[in-house]
Every structure is written in structure tokens, then in C-alpha cells.
């Protein structure tokens, strides 16, 4: 009985999400707002501008280079943090 309020809140949240899901565009919809602005430019020009048939690679490493650099810095920071925290023995 203690779990009843939690279940009610979760059911309400699930109902809200299912209600909102009806308005989402379909997967791969060309008319979706996310596919309106720069995606068309990438698909049309990536082949001739960066000579990479795999558009994903061209976008990740060239057009969105800052993003990928940030990701790499995040991974590097994670490694350095584990190196600092998990190394035992203190001062060497």
C-alpha cells in the first residue's frame, strides 16, 4: 500500500508521455522540423565537399568537428579522473 502514490505518479507520467508521443513526427520523416535546415545541405554537398561517401563520418569529423573534439575531451577527462582517484599510494 505504501507504493500506491508512486505507482499513481508513474502512471500519470506514462499517460502524459504517451499523449505527447502522438504529436511526434515519424522516424525518417522529411517534413520533420529537425530535417528542415542543415540536414538537406549536408546530404546534398557532403559528397563533393569532403569526398566521404559515408556522410556520417564527414559530418562528425568535419562539419561538426567541435562536437567531436568536445567528446574526446570528455573521454580524456574521464580517464584522467579515474587515474587520479583510483591510483593508490599517494605521492610518488
Partner 1 sequence: MIDRYDSLIVTFTTRLLVPFIQIFALYVIAHGHFSPGGGFQGGAILAASGLLVRISLGQPVVRWFTHSRMRWLGAAGLLIFAGTGIVPLFFGSAYLDYSGLPIPFLSGAALRATGILIVEIGIAMAVLGILLTIFDHLSGWDR
Partner 2 sequence: MAWQLDIILFVLIIVAAIFALQIRDLLAAVIALGAYSFFAAVLLAEMGAVDVAFTEAALGAGVTTVLFVVAIFVTRRRSED
Instruction: Return residues touching partner 2 (CB under 8 A).
Output: 27-28, 56
State the minimum distance, in angstroms, from the CB of residue 58 to partner 1: 7
Which residues, including other chains, have CB under 8 Å from residue 23's CB and lie 6 or more apart? Answer: none
Q: How many CB atoms lie within 10 A of CB 83?
A: 9
d(CA 76, CA 73): 5
Q: Which of 34, 37, 36, 58 lies closest to 46, judged by CA?
A: 58
Q: Which is nearer to partner 1, 31 or 87 (CB)?
A: 87
Q: Which of 3, 17, 37, 54 binds partner 1 (CB under 8 A)?
A: 54
Q: Is 5 in the site for partner 1 (CB under 8 A)?
A: no
Q: Which residues bind partner 1 (CB under 8 A)?
A: 48-54, 56-58, 60-62, 65-66, 68-69, 71-73, 75-76, 78-79, 82-83, 86-89
Amino acid at each position: 500500500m505504501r507504493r500506491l502514490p508512486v505507482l499513481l505518479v508513474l502512471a500519470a507520467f506514462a499517460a502524459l508521455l504517451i499523449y505527447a508521443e502522438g504529436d511526434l513526427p515519424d522516424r525518417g520523416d522529411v517534413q520533420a522540423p529537425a530535417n528542415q535546415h542543415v540536414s538537406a545541405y549536408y546530404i546534398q554537398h557532403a559528397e563533393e565537399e569532403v569526398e566521404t561517401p559515408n556522410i556520417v563520418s564527414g559530418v562528425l569529423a568535419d562539419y561538426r568537428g567541435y562536437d567531436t573534439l568536445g567528446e574526446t575531451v570528455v573521454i580524456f577527462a574521464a580517464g584522467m579522473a579515474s587515474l587520479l582517484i583510483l591510483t593508490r599510494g599517494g605521492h610518488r
